Every structure is written in structure tokens, then in C-alpha cells.
A and B are shown apart, each in its own frame.
Chain A
Amino acid sequence: MQPNPLFGCSIRRSTAIVKPAAFAYEAPETVEEALALLKRYGEGAKVLAGGQSLVPMMNFRLAQPEVLIDINGLAELDYIRLQDGPEAGRGLAIGALTRQRTAELSPRVGEHCPLLAEALGHVAHAAIRNRGTVGGSLVHADPSAEIATVLTTLNGRVTLRGPAGERTLAPGDFLLGYLTTGLAPDELLMEARFPAIRPGARWGFLEFSRRQGDFAIAAVAAVLELDSGGACTVARIGLGGVAPAPLRALAAERALVGRRIDGDAIDEAGRLAQEVCDTEGDYHASEEYKRNLAGVLTRRCLAQALERGREAA
């Protein structure tokens, strides 16, 4: 160690600087290997995907996993496919390890699910989306997360794989509450499926945050389908940030179906959306403010959806 001439103390440290608690590191190359490691290490192990939520928690030692199972080598979980399913109809199947930025810029996502592409643009900053994954965001389950809000709005599906095989869950069975999901410790999230926005349908996405890239105080996604006379045949409204997990504003949706979407209809939907909020105040905003914001954003989001839609085929 050399003394620092300015401060008279050592500037060269004898040990390496580290922030997180010590852990063992495993880097499996296949899903099978990853599942075997999860089984072997049990509850002490954590999956490391983009690390954009897990590593901050480890740097603060809020998370101290004994073993990290780094799944960045699982190329088989990095894909965006267009699927035709009889039940859910056409949709995008996105592998859990797909980077958020890759999905955002994917022409396939832009064409078939522009709502998701737009929502992804609100997730943090490009440098975070370059590494953060679609699956990691869903498992982290922040109540404001844009990806989970879109999954909920479109009633998509997630597929999990564990020792007992695969299971597929609806958003409400997977996103259980604040940072809580239905994923078992020995399971991997494999894929998320987002139903396509049908040709001719209209959609909107709006959120409010204190600064560009911050988590949303409230976020709203909407999809509308109108018949040739302008009456609403399908309405989907999803809210993020105003409940322990994203949720649909079902009463607001019902109020729109069968109706021409004029100013009165939009006002009513905004009022009904406000009522489903299940939130508490925090240092960003009071409960009353968030509730009001959900109503305002719902109205603006519906107006935005009316203004633009996916080009009719």
C-alpha cells in the first residue's frame, strides 16, 4: 500500500471493493441445467436475469441469496414468435430472457402488439432496457411495471416450468401482489404470451411519473374495438401503479361496450376506473392524488385510443 500524498492515508486498498454479500455463482447453459440447479440449491438460490432489479437489491443487501443462477446463457429463452392459437387467437410468444429493448424495437412486436412496444418505451431508460428482460420484469412484479400492466390488460398468459413440468397461468394467478408472484422457488418463467391487437382495433398507453424513466405513479393501457357504426364492441382498460398488482377496470370496460364512445362515455369510464384503485399514499403522491390520476389518465388514454388505431387490414 502506498500512502496518499494528499491525505496521508492509503489509496490502494489491499482487498477488493465489494458491495453485495458473498454468493456462489452458477452459469447453466440450458433450461434443464438451470432447473436442476434450482432444485439442488432450493430456497437459498435466486435466478439472475438482467439483474436490473435484483442487483440493486443485492447492492443494498436487501437481498442476500446464497447462490445466483445466472440464466443469461440460456439462448433458448430469447425469442419473439408469432403464434396462432385457437383459444387465445393470434399472439406473440416472448421468451423470458428477451431483453426489453429487443422487444421494444422488434418489428414483429410493433406490428402485432404496438401497445406493448409503446409501453416498453416507458420502462426505465434504454441502458436498463438493454439488459433488463421481459421475464425478469414480470417476476419482479412491481405494481407499476408496464409489461405486467399490458399483460393484464390483454389477459395474456405466462408459462412456468419446474420439476413437475409446465403450467400456464393467467395474469391474475401469476401477479399476486406487491413483488409477489405465483412462481415457485424451483420454477423458471419460460415465456409470456401477449394477444395481438386486432387489425382495426384502437389502443392507447399513458403513464405519469416524476421524471422520464422513473416508475409510474399510475399507468393506463386501453384497447377499443368499434363496429362500423362507431359502437364499442370490445373495451379493455388496465391500470398499473394503483393497486398491489396491475388490474383491469372491468366496470369501466362494461360501461363502454355497446355504446358510442363520446365525452360522456369517457367521463363515466374514468370515474369507474378511479373506483377500482386499491392504493395507499407514499412519498410521491397521496392516495387521493393517485386515484384522481388514474381517472384522468383513463380518460386521456381512451381519447388517445380513439385518435389512433392499428391500421385496418
Chain B
Amino acid sequence: MTPRAAHTIRLTVNGEAIERAVEPRQLLVDFLREGLELTGTHAGCEHGVCGACTVLFNGKAQRSCLIFAVQAQGAEIVTIEGLAEGARLHPLQAAFREHHGLQCGFCTPGMLITAYDLLQENPRPSEAEVRVAISGVLCRCTGYKQIVDAVLAAAEAMS
């Protein structure tokens, strides 16, 4: 096999086992959006700055625009589509709705995954800790205030 040719990868996305052939240069974000039609993960800057493409990669928030799909061989990935349980919103999602933690919604998937990772590590963060954690995701709409409120409310609801 020539290494430049497509590689077959096996991985789990939102609990589902997937097997696909991917060209090495395809980014994970494009694989999720185009290959699996999971368009909840957004592509913004595509160089790591905006955070819109953040997914859980083996349990940790990472930029899917800075990982090649071929590197996801054997990985467990959770995208925004995997956060709710059926029709029941995740407490973070419910809190974002309650507190108006979004306007246009472009940053929201990355915000939610980032906040999810934060609460996994630190279930009762201070406001300052929330602000540092979400500083890696840019929001052009909300001014962040409602997002911070939503994450703090979700932390309380979940504990």
C-alpha cells in the first residue's frame, strides 16, 4: 500500500463504531462534517484559535481542525450530537437555553464541549475559572456573560 493512499480507520463516534477510508490530509473536522454528516461540529478559523471545532477526543476537549482523521484510528470521539440523551438535553445545554448562552449559535458546540470538559475536571469552578476555560472559544455575539452564567448554573444543577 502506498502510504499516500487512503487509510482505513476504525473509531467510535458518539458511541457508534465507524469504519471508513480516509485520505491522510483530511482533517477530523471535515471528516465529521462531510464524511459522517455530523455538522454540529463547526469549522471556523481552521488553525486552532476559535474553538468552534472542539470535540472530545478520548475524553478530552481537542481541536478537530488540528487532527487528521487518519489519526483518529482507535479513538473515541464525542461531538455535540452526542451530548444529549435522546430528546433529553444535557444539563449544560438546558442551562445555555435557560440563560440565553447563545445567539447565532456558531460558537455553541465548541463552547458546550469545552464547558463539558471543564466540569468533568472541576465540577464546581469559580467564575474566574469558567472564564479562563472558555477563553479558548471565541463568541462574537453574546459578550460571554450569559455563557458564564449558564456554565455556573449547569455546574450547580449537576452537583
CA distance A16 to B29 in the complex (A): 12
| Interface flags, A183-200, vs B, CB<8A=1, else 0 | 000000000000000000
Contacts A18-B30, A22-B23: A131 and B4 contacting too (C-beta < 8 A)? no
How many residues in B have their beta carbons less than 8 Å from beta carbons of A? 38
> Within 8 Å of chain B (Cβ to Cβ): is A70?
yes
Q: Max chain B CB contacts within 10 Å: which of A18, A21, A52, A125?
A: A125
Query: In the bound complex, do residue A68 and residue B66 qualify as a contact, i.e. CB atoms below 8 Å apart?
Result: no
User: A55 at interface (Cβ–Cβ under 8 A)?
Assistant: yes
9 A-B pairs with C-beta separation under 8 A: A26-B3, A27-B73, A51-B71, A125-B135, A126-B114, A127-B136, A128-B66, A131-B67, A212-B132
A13 within 8 A of B: yes
How many angstroms between the C-alpha atoms of A269 and B54 in the bound complex? 43
Selected interface stretch from B44-52, B77-85, B87-95, B99-107: B44-52
Residues of B within 8 A of A212 (CB): 131-132, 135
Give the shortest distance, in Å, between B146 (CB) and chain A (any CB).
19
Are A13 and B27 closer than 8 Å at their CB atoms? no
Task: Give Cα A206 to B136, complex, Å.
Answer: 20
Q: Is A19 an interface residue (CB 8 A)?
A: yes
**B120 CB to closest chain A CB, in angstroms?**
11
Chain A interface residues (CB < 8 Å from chain B): 13, 16-27, 51-52, 55-56, 58-60, 67-68, 70, 72, 101, 124-128, 130-131, 211-213
- Find out whether the CB atom of B62 lies under 8 angstroms from the CB atom of A131: yes
- Cross-chain contact of A16 among B23, B60, B114 (Cβ < 8 A): B23
* A25, closest chain B residue (CB): B24
A127 with B3: CB separation less than 8 A: no
Q: Is A25 a contact partner of B48 (Cβ separation < 8 A)? A: no
For B131, what are the chain A residues with a Cβ–Cβ distance below 8 Å?
Answer: 212
Check B68 against A127 for contact (C-beta < 8 Å). no
Ordered nearest first, which 9 A-B pairs have the shortest CB separation? A125-B136, A25-B24, A56-B47, A24-B3, A24-B4, A212-B135, A55-B66, A127-B61, A130-B60
